[in-house]
Amino acid sequence: FPNQYTEQEAKKLGVVGWVKNTSQGTVTGQVQGPEEKVNEMKSWLSKVGSPSSRIDKTNFSNEKEISKLDFSGFNTRY
């Protein structure tokens, strides 16, 4: 399942949040953590992704500074 690679990368970088496949064949999610680590995750999502994925474009929105993390880990939502 492709999202296991996203989970592994997030855990490796130490970011938290979630990822979910949509019915339109896209992936949506939320990532939280130190800005530098979030940027590394964004780069991985834009350029690498899971081995079976094809990345046509990425769109990051609602970026803001937060005082505390809303999630304790990173998981796949269904």
The two tokens of residue 59 are 């769109």
- pLDDT at residue 2, rounded to an integer: 63
Whole-model pTM? 0.87
CA distance 10 to 56: 21
Q: Would you write out the chain's pLDDT as a tens digit for each of its 78 residues?
A: 568 899 999 999 999 999 998 898 888 999 999 999 999 999 999 999 888 888 889 999 999 999 999 999 999 998
Closest by Cα among 50, 38, 46 to 6: 50
Give all domains of the chain, ordered by start, each with its CATH number.
2-76 (3.30.70.100)
Phi, psi of 3 (to 5 degrees): -65, -15
Write the DSSP assignment of 36-68 as a string of letters: HHHHHHHHHHHHT--TT---S----------SS
